[in-house]
Amino acid sequence: MPAKTFQTILIANRGEIACRIMRTARSLGYRTVAVFSPADADAPHVLAADCAVALAGNAPSQSYLDIDQLLAAARKGGADAVHPGYGFLAENEQFARACADAGLVFIGPGPDAIARMGNKRQAKDLMEAAGVPVIPGVRGSAQDPDALLAAAREVGLPVMVKAAAGGGGKGMRRVMEEAHLADAIRSAASEAASSFGDAELIIERALDRSRHVEIQVFADRHGGVIHLGERDCSLQRRHQKIIEECPSPAVDADLRSRMGEAAVAAARAIDYVGAGTVEFLLEESGDFHFLEMNTRLQVEHPVTEMVTGLDLVAWQLQIAAGQPLPLSQEQVSWNGHAIEARLYAEAPDQGFVPQTGHLQAFSLAAADGVRVDSGVRAGQWVSPFYDPMLAKVIAYGPDRETARRRLKRCLAEARIAGVITNRAYLLRALDSRVFVSAAVTTDTIDAGSTELLAPELDIRRWAPAALLLAGADRESELAGAARSMQRKLLIDAGGEAVVVSCRITRTRDDWMVRADEVEIRLRLLRLDDGVMQIESDGVLSRCGFSYQGLVVSLADAVGDVRVEDLSLAAPTVNEGSEAGLLRIPMDGTVVDVPVEPGQAVSKGDAILIMEAMKMETTLRAGVDGVVGELGLKSGDSVRKGQTVTVIQAQEDHAD
């Protein structure tokens, strides 16, 4: 479709990417239109737009994935262009075509290019024909489970089971043993169908100790195609990136040139226009293999912007308006180093399970060399309907070490309360020997480095919350009151929550907290503006806090802790240590219940499969035993903390 001018842009997305696009669009004089679901009615992207149009439902299929609603929103808002952001419909050829048919400029590649790269099987066939190296595997085989099992055996374990229409780690499973193949194929197909509406799978060889290195490409409508260098996205969890950097520590000028030429060839092979990213797996030998091409802006595009000094969204808008590329390949330069960390509402110590809840506090300040791209604010509800990313923190420096230190400092000083996040995990990752030495590979997290494990929950981590729950914030009101009290506290630091009985005593000058034969003395020096300053054993420290009812959330450089006072609550099964209790870890929807009441199960067996924030999670038995009552079925909505069942341990069930 020929380029045409446009004045008003509908952002067909939400969260931080919608805010990011709006910043550049407004700076260039464009008017912006937001769309929002009921769950996002008070989200920052709604307030940042010139106008906003409501969508009907919260589920993605009823809101941000509903093409008819988005086109109607464009008409209501007076938009003559659409920017899809990333995720949702950004790589949907039907959406790109529908926009063109409606007379709207689609700020991205044409529908034919999206279609060619949208299916991994078809994309890899095209890349082979264009001379781009691809990962060995089996593509286009029959999709029944037996045929896929046979394909996996042909490739040879370990293998990657991947959704042909997938991306972002969804519908992807790494399989090391044949005994796990059937379950991996079933769950990958189910997740693929749910996320992309297409259950087709491909099987590829798993490349151990490889790096995930991607090349940013841009192409205009006049035949110009260039690359803007590489990004290293090797630190991943559940096949989703969490820390990215530019340039890659493993890429020198010669390798950058060769990978860049391959990426440009990939773009030319499909007559590409706009911003795109060609992803490769880079082996220790220096060999690289085509992984996929993302026909959109990437989440991690800011690290490229920081190092090149370019605004990639501005380039997208210029190309969509028919302008040529602003630079030639020879004019592109890279200076310094940038690292991005993705801050998620998730519990790393529970398998990175997404978290939901009320975001009581959210303060993440930019500083020298640090940029923060966020799509949430304090007071907002983190819902189960969408991806759990809260913000991206991007640090720049003249060298990698300076960027790393700046990123650490920003994360350490963040004040977030109400939901558990991966903030502490990111800090541990940035400090790990494998990251500092730039030896990260895609299986670093799976390898289970002890440096990435959460520290033991020490009394010093949660004692400041005990002071608040004992009334330290109401000193003047409590003068003369009894100053010693027993408390039962539920402490959650992102791992398994524990119940602790403690005694809190107020002396003339300070406080004593005692639990499990351990006692510490604390002096409260400052308590205002969401910050506590405490002295203990001559050491001054501070932490952020949020206080709501009988719950205190703390945030310091070590991590986040949520402390709830159970002293007045009725006794519940939460206070026991029964390993057979199975609870829902976050709000979501039941996908399958593969067991029945009375069925004997072994530790590790799947009891319930659920979906939340576009990811499948399997709840497994914690003990050998017999399944109790089950009141759930496929399609049921479930809430965080809800009891699924109690598995009666075998020794308890013997009689």
Beta bridge partners of 391: 343, 374
Residue 140, pLDDT > 90, answer no
The strand pairing partners of 565, in sequence order, are 489
Confidence band (pLDDT; 50, 70, 90) for 623? confident
Which ranges constitute the DSSP H helices of 28-144? 44-48, 67-77, 93-101, 111-118, 120-129
What are the extents of the domains in the chain?
Answer: 8-107, 136-205, 211-452, 459-565, 578-653
pLDDT tens digit string along 487-543? 899 998 876 778 899 999 988 778 999 998 899 999 999 888 788 899 998 899 888
**Confidence grade of residue 550 (pLDDT, cut at 50, 70, 90):** confident
Task: Specify the range with the lowest mean pLDDT, choosing from 141-155, 172-186, 287-301, 626-640.
Answer: 626-640
What are the tens digits of pLDDT across the range 292-330? 999 999 999 999 999 999 999 999 999 999 999 999 999
- Which architecture does CATH list for 8-107? 3-Layer(aba) Sandwich (3.40)
In percent, the amount of the chain with pLDDT more than 90 equals 56
* Buried-state track 487-515, b at ≥16 Cβ within 10 A, e below 16: bbbbbbbbbebeebebebebeeeebbbeb
Q: Name the CATH superfamily, with its identifier, for domain 211-452.
A: ATP-grasp fold, B domain (3.30.470.20)
pLDDT in tens, 42-99: 999 999 999 999 999 999 999 999 999 999 999 999 999 999 999 999 999 999 999 9
H or E element: which one contains 267?
A: helix 253-269
In this structure, are residues 513 and 466 in contact, taking their beta carbons and an 8 Å threshold?
yes
CATH number of 136-205: 3.30.1490.20
Around 506, how many Cα atoms within 13 Å sit in the side-chain half-sphere?
19
Q: What is the pLDDT of residue 585?
A: 78
Q: Which CATH code for domain 459-565?
A: 3.30.700.30
Q: What is the pLDDT of residues 354-391, one digit of tens each?
A: 888 889 889 898 889 999 999 999 999 998 899 999 99
Model confidence, pTM:
0.83
Percent share of the chain, pLDDT over 70: 94
Give the lowest-confidence range in 220-229, 342-351, 407-416, 583-592: 583-592
Q: Which fold has domain 578-653?
A: OB fold (Dihydrolipoamide Acetyltransferase, E2P) (2.40.50)
Cα–Cα distances (Å) from 135 to 257, 365, 526, 529, in that order, read 20, 41, 58, 54
Residue 574 pLDDT > 80: no
Provide the pLDDT for residue 68. 98
Radius of gyration of the chain (CA): 26
Residue 168 pLDDT level (bands cut at 50, 70, 90): low
Active site residues: 296
